[in-house]
Every structure is written in structure tokens, then in C-alpha cells.
């Protein structure tokens, strides 16, 4: 929006944005006001402002227990990010803890926060084997309910939830993690009830009916790496497209770890995009060992930090390099709130996010800020002997 309004041709976007933020009312065109009030609301060097310049939404998972009660957490959520994902509160376990009784309160609060702060919402997630209410299944793989009951329940769940948030969700993670690490279909209660992967096509069709405007995503981890799992999901979504199932995108979770090599992320994003899909990095974090046994990756060794900076930077740049990659979402932003230490604890891992335990930005944050600034174009040299006088 800024460029046409100011219409000063080839001057880099860095200059334009800086000018906007400093001068505020530099442009006098009707319709410019919202951009100005937004610029006043969050810093010109925030991740969200820098992402705006290349049309990339920078998101975060949000812990709704902190939102509103923790001032720093709340301010950073609003200032730095242009998209939010509920880390937990749209999961089935939380929206329908008792069969037949919905509790939308926490998720509604996040949606209202997002509207107020001009953020889009990634809805997460409708069909999953994890974090199901116990009345449905205690482990996602077994249940006492019949196949017919399960089919009716999943349909109602998708219809009710998507309708409840209709018009408020940018991207829905309709199906999450349907494949095992080796690329075999995960033998969940849904897979067993349908006797195959047919539940996925049904889920997308029900979601489309309930909110025709939301972008519908398949979301999974380790798609970043070329291999059996990424190939299996690729084959699935290609066949869904061929059957005209309404799928719009694929989410690459991006839970990275410095103990493994950096994945072939850009090529994988691109080959999914080439199927005619949007892609997104939906849950990025970069974990590393944080405790004994000490090794070359412990944070006491600066190399661990360098590896993390590099992984963050390459993950972002993979998205920037693929036109169809529409959002880049870290899975939270303060190491205290990260799911990693609780989940990967033998050996202990952590330090996976952009902000430390005191909500101070880490070097990883500054690397992304710089990458985003450069993505819109480095400022041209000027002065005697330089490219332009
Ligand atoms: C995680 C949350 O971060 C934790 O708070 C919760 O206890 C477990 O789930 N893949 C996903 C996310 O799709 O929903 C998971 O989130 C992390 C892995």
C-alpha cells in the first residue's frame, strides 16, 4: 500500500518505510490512514512491519494464559507479529472437554485480540490424533466409540468449530500429522474408522462448506526433509488436488534441531507449491542441547548459538525465496513458554525460540530482523564513487 501512495519509483522500500514511520503524514492520499495508525502502533523495525514489505505474515503461537495477564508478553505479541496461532485453545480437548458442551472462551479472546491488533489467525487444528478429549479417546489410537459414531462426531466437530469462527480464520490446519515418521499412514482412530485415508478428503470438504473463505491446510512435521514422509504427504496432496478436494495449502511445522543437518526446506516448499498450493512454515523452533552430557552443542559453547542463528535464518530465507510461502510462524517467542523443554528432555533440549526466558530478544531475533530488512532490498550506496551520486 505504501509504495503506490508515495510513488517515488525505485527508491528502496527501506527508505519508504523509514520515511513513513518517521514522518507519519508524508502521504496525503485517502485510504492511507489505516497504514499510518498501524505504523504508529508497532515499530517500523518489528518483524511484522518488515514482513509486510514483502507480503509475508510473521506469526507466533500464542499461550492464551499469558495473553492479557503478562504485560510484556502481550505487548510483544501485538507489536512483533501479524498473525497468531492458538498454541492449544482450538484443539478438541480444550473446546469440547465434556461431550456436547463447547468452551470457546479462550479462543474467542485470541480472535478478538487479533482483530484489535490487525492480525490474521491460523486456526489449529481440526483433525488430529493428539490432545483429544478423554471421552473420545485417551491416546488417539484407541476408542470405545463405534466407527459410525466417530464419523458423525468428526463431521459435527468440524462443522461446529469452523462455523463458530467463520470469517475470522485466515488459514485452518484442517488435518494435522496424518503420517508416521516413516511415511506410513498413522493408524489413528480416524484412519481406522474410515478404513483408510478417506477421512482427510471428507474433513476438507466439510471445512470448505462451513467457511468457504478460509484457506484450508494440511500440516505436519519433518516435511522439511526430503524422504519417505515428505514424499507420502506430497503424494497425498497431489491426489487430493486431482480429486478436486478443497485443499489450499500445506503447513511445514519446522521443529528444527541443531543436532541434525539443516533440511532441504526450500526445495520441499517449492515442490509442494508447484502442485498449485500455498505453503507456510507454521511452528518453527530451533532446539539445542541445554544440559549435560556436555558436548559441542551445549549453549556454553558459542557454536550452538551460531547453529541456531543459522537455522533460523535459513528457515526464514527458504520461505522468502518461495513466492507461495505466505506465512512464517515461530511456535511462540519466549523460551520460558516453549513446549520444547517439557517434550524433549532426554537429553534435555531447549533455547528454541527468538526471545529468552526474560522476554529479551536473542541474537536469533536480530538475524531474522536483518534478513527481513534485506529481503525488501538493501539500500543503494550513494555518494562519490558509489553506484549513485
Ligand atoms: C504442542 C503445544 O505447544 C504444547 O503446549 C502442548 O502441550 C502439546 O502440543 N505439533 C503441533 C502442535 O501441531 O499443536 C504441538 O503443540 C507441537 C507439535
Distance 344 CA to ligand 1 centre (A): 12
Identify the residue whose C-alpha is closest to ligand 1 atom 3: 339
Dihedral angle at the C-alpha atoms of 360, 365, 370, 371, nearest 10 degrees?
-170
Phi, psi angle pair for 50, to nearest 5°:
-70, -40
The set of residues, in sequence order, having a beta carbon less than 8 Å from that of 285 and lying 6+ positions away, is 254, 255, 256, 330, 331, 332, 338, 340, 352, 353
C-alpha 135/C-alpha 154 separation (Å) is 13
Identify the residue whose C-alpha is closest to ligand 1 atom 15: 87
Q: Which atom of ligand 1 sits closest to the CA of residue 63? A: 5
User: What's residue 245's pLDDT?
Assistant: 98
User: What's residue 301's pLDDT?
Assistant: 64
Residue 336 CA from chain centroid, whole number: 19
Distance 329 CA to ligand 1 centre (A): 14
Q: Which atom of ligand 1 sits closest to the CA of residue 128? A: 13
Q: Which residue has the cell 475470522?
A: 168
Q: To test ligand 1's pocket by mutation, which of 88, 217, 337 has the most ligand atoms within 8 angstroms of CB?
A: 88
Q: Which atom of ligand 1 sits closest to the CA of residue 176? A: 13
Q: Which atom of ligand 1 sits closest to the CA of residue 282? A: 13
Distance 320 CA to ligand 1 centre (A): 25
C-alpha 83/C-alpha 124 separation (Å) is 13
Q: Where are the alpha helices (DSSP H) in the chain?
A: 2-6, 13-23, 33-41, 47-52, 71-80, 92-95, 105-116, 147-164, 189-194, 198-210, 228-242, 265-273, 302-320, 340-343, 363-375
C-alpha 127/C-alpha 288 separation (Å) is 30
User: What's residue 56's pLDDT?
Assistant: 98
**Which parts of the chain have pLDDT scores under 50?**
1-39
Residue 58: name the closest of 71, 70, 42, 69 by CA: 42
Q: Nearest 5°: CA angle at 317, between 9 and 14?
A: 30
Cβ neighbour number for residue 34 with a 10 Å cutoff: 10
Cell of 47: 518483524
User: What's residue 380's pLDDT?
Assistant: 85
Just list the catalytic residues.
Answer: 177, 283
User: What's residue 17's pLDDT?
Assistant: 37
User: What's residue 299's pLDDT?
Assistant: 57
What lines the ligand 1 site, CB under 6 Å?
Answer: 87-88, 176, 253, 283, 339
Distance 55 CA to ligand 1 centre (A): 27
C-alpha 56/C-alpha 120 separation (Å) is 12
Amino acid at each position: 500500500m505504501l509504495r503506490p501512495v508515495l510513488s517515488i519509483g525505485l527508491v528502496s522500500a527501506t527508505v519508504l518505510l523509514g520515511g513513513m514511520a518517521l514522518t507519519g503524514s508524508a502521504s496525503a492520499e485517502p485510504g492511507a490512514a489505516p497504514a499510518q495508525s498501524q505504523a504508529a502502533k508497532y515499530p517500523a523495525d518489528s518483524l511484522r512491519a518488515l514482513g509486510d514489505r514483502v507480503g509475508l505474515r510473521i506469526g507466533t503461537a500464542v499461550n492464551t494464559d499469558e495473553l492479557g495477564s503478562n504485560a510484556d508478553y502481550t505487548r510483544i505479541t501485538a507489536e512483533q507479529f501479524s498473525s497468531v496461532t492458538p498454541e492449544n485453545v482450538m484443539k478438541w480437548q480444550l473446546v469440547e472437554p465434556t461431550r456436547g458442551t463447547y468452551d470457546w472462551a479462550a479462543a474467542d479472546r485470541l480472535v478478538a485480540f487479533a482483530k484489535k491488533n490487525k492480525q490474521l489467525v491460523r486456526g489449529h487444528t481440526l483433525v488430529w490424533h493428539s490432545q483429544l478429549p478423554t471421552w473420545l479417546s485417551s491416546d488417539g489410537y484407541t476408542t470405545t466409540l463405534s466407527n459410525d459414531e466417530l464419523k458423525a462426531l468428526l463431521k459435527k466437530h468440524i462443522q461446529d468449530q469452523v462455523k463458530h469462527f467463520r470469517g475470522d480464520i485466515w488459514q485452518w490446519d484442517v488435518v494435522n500429522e496424518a503420517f508416521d515418521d516413516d511415511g506410513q499412514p498413522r493408524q489413528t482412530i480416524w484412519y481406522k474408522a474410515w478404513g483408510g485415508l478417506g477421512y482427510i478428503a471428507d474433513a476438507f470438504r466439510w471445512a470448505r462448506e462451513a467457511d468457504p473463505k478460509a484457506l484450508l491446510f494440511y500440516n505436519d512435521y519433518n516435511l522439511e526433509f526430503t524422504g519417505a514422509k515428505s514424499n507420502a504427504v506430497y503424494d497425498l496432496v497431489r491426489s487430493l488436488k486431482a480429486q478436486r478436494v478443497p485443499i489450499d495449502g500445506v503447513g511445514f511445522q519446522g521443529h528444527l534441531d541443531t543436532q541434525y543437518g539443516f533440511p532441504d526446506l526450500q526445495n520441499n516448499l517449492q515442490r509442494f507449491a508447484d502442485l498449485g498450493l500455498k505453503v507456510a512454515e507454521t511452528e518453527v523452533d530451533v532446539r539445542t542441547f541445554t544440559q549435560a552430557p556436555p558436548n559441542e552443542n551445549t549453549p556454553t559453547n558459542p557454536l550452538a548459538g551460531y547453529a541456531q542463528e543459522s537455522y533460523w535464518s535459513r528457515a526464514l530465507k527458504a520461505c522468502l525465496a518461495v513466492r507461495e510461502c505466505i506465512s512464517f510462524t515461530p511456535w511462540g517467542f519466549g523460551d520460558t513458554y516453549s513446549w520444547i523443554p517439557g517434550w524433549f528432555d532426554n537429553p534435555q533440549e531447549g533455547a528454541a525460540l527468538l526471545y529468552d526466558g526474560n522476554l529479551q530478544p536473542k541474537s536469533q531475533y536480530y538475524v531474522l530482523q536483518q534478513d527481513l530488512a534485506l529481503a525488501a532490498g538493501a539500500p543503494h550506496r550513494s555518494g562519490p564513487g558509489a553506484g549513485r551520486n
